[in-house]
């Protein structure tokens, strides 16, 4: 992991994770920094580990760091990353994804009263979002 390095990831961190039959190389950056600069620097640092290999997948994702203004509509609700439950400073989101999923399900179980009631938007807002 490269942390606090201006060339590879000025505002997050870069990584080189050995997987079963490949290597995952990546970096986090903000929209203000051109990803082409940081990816070139990261590739250069990963050079020995990826020499002779081929690129099998390229992907990029925005990290949802702010709670979405609308997280419940009708009987549809968002949890985890889709709800924007990611910590801004660290990018941690696994705990909040699991926790929000659990809170949501508990709210549904409570509001349906053992399967007797149909849940409403208000039930989800009152129980899940409030918690």
Q: Which spans of this chain sit near ligand FAD (rule: CB under 6 A)?
A: 26, 61, 80-81, 86, 91-95, 97
Decide whether 17 or 122 has the Cβ nearer to ligand FAD.
Answer: 17
**Angle at the Cα of 59 from the Cα atoms of 57 and 60, rounded to 5 degrees:** 165
- For ligand FAD, the closer of residues 19 and 61 by Cβ is 61
Instruction: Check if the beta carbon of residue 39 is closer than 8 Å to that of residue 46.
Output: no
CB 81 to ligand FAD: min, Å: 4
The number of CA neighbours under 13 Å toward the Cβ of 115 is 0
| Residue nearest ligand FAD, Cβ-based | 93
- Encode 53-78: b = buried (16+ Cβ within 10 Å), e = exposed: eeeeeeeeeeebeeeeeebbeeeebb
Q: Which is nearer to ligand FAD, 52 or 62 (CB)?
A: 62
Distance of closest approach, residue 1 Cβ to ligand FAD, in angstroms:
10
């Amino acid at each position: 992991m490269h942390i606090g390095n201006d060339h590879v990831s000025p505002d997050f961190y870069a990584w080189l994770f050995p997987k079963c039959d490949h290597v995952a190389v990546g970096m986090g950056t903000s929209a203000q920094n051109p990803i082409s600069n940081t990816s070139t620097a990261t590739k250069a640092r990963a050079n020995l580990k990826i020499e002779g290999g081929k690129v099998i997948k390229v992907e990029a994702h925005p990290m949802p760091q702010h709670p979405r203004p609308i997280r419940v509509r009708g009987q549809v609700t968002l949890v985890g990353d889709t709800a924007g439950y990611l910590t801004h400073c660290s990018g941690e989101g696994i705990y909040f994804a699991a926790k929000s999923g659990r809170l949501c399900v508990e709210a549904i179980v409570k509001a349906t009263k053992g399967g007797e009631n149909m849940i409403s938007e208000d039930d989800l807002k009152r129980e899940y979002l409030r918690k």
